[in-house]
Structure 1
Amino acid sequence: MTASVPEQPRIPQPPETVTALRQAVAQIAPAALPSFSRELDQAADEARQAADLAPLRRFTAQWALYVQIQRHPAVAERFRELEDLATVGDADQARRAAAELGRILDAARAALTQGRQ
């Protein structure tokens, strides 16, 4: 039996800046660009109204996590499958899917944290 070779990411993880994240999303998930723009506009409006950068920090953290997952096609595919299963599956399937989604998100957050160090 041979060991499987870990999948290489499609692109390097970009810095957590709006410009770098936008470029990454355009490259690996162009269909998500309208959501990216809409959520950026909303975060910018909230930041202006509150005179606080927290909404923009949340925005970049959320999209960095999205990119971290999408960089790995097999992980991204599994994530989409689990999202669907959590929506259309029975209660037990939905619980299992939610638990696995949580593990994927935890691993992606850990990778981002490790990348910052």
Structure 2
Amino acid sequence: MSVHPLTPGDGPTVERPKRTLAALKEALAQVAPSQLPVMEAERDEVFTLAAETQSVGPVNGFLFRWATVVEIERHPEVARRLHRAEQAVRMAGDEETMRAAIQEVAEIQAAARRAVEGG
């Protein structure tokens, strides 16, 4: 299945891809191309681990992780919120600010995981 762009606006910029390496890679190339090298490096590590352990668990985890990343990035406003919160975590000058930013990151990631699980 190819990933088709959707109409511009507040909604997603591409359809939710199937949880396959090819579909996720295609979607990531559209919504966050700078993350492709990270995905590819992680893929190599995960497939090596899967072969060493003779388990598909690492591959399933990898696919779920990247499906979650794509889920966030295909919604531009959600992605902007996440990146602002991540920046706030790194730059926080006090504990309260850091806790609030960490909470925002956690909430965005949890919502994306739920969407991927249900979608």
**Cα offset for 1:42?**
0.5
Amino acid at match of 2:117: T
- Partner of 2:88, secondary structure, is helix
Of 31, 36, 56, the residue aligned with 2:34 is 31
Q: In 2, distance between residues paired with 1:109 and 1:22?
A: 18
- Deviations 1:76-102 (Å, cap 9, x if unpaired)? 011001001111102111100111111
State the identity as a percent.
35
**Cα offset for 1:24?**
0.5
1:101 equivalent in structure 2: 105
1:86 equivalent in structure 2: 89
- Deviations 1:36-81 (Å, cap 9, x if unpaired)? 1000000000000000011111100000000000000011011001
Q: In 1, distance between residues paired with 2:101 and 2:27?
A: 27
Gaps of 5+ in 1: 1-5
Instruction: Map residues 57-72 of structure 1 onto 2, 5 A cutoff.
Output: 57-72=60-75
Q: In 1, distance between residues paired with 2:66 and 2:43?
A: 10
RMSD: 1.1
Q: In 1, distance between residues paired with 2:110 and 2:33?
A: 24
TM-score by length of 1: 0.90
Runs of 4+ in 1 over 2 A off after TM superposition: none
Of 7, 15, 38, the residue aligned with 2:18 is 15
Amino acid at match of 2:99: R
Bigger mean CA offset, 79-88 vs 105-114:
105-114
Q: In 2, distance between residues paired with 1:30 and 1:100?
A: 24
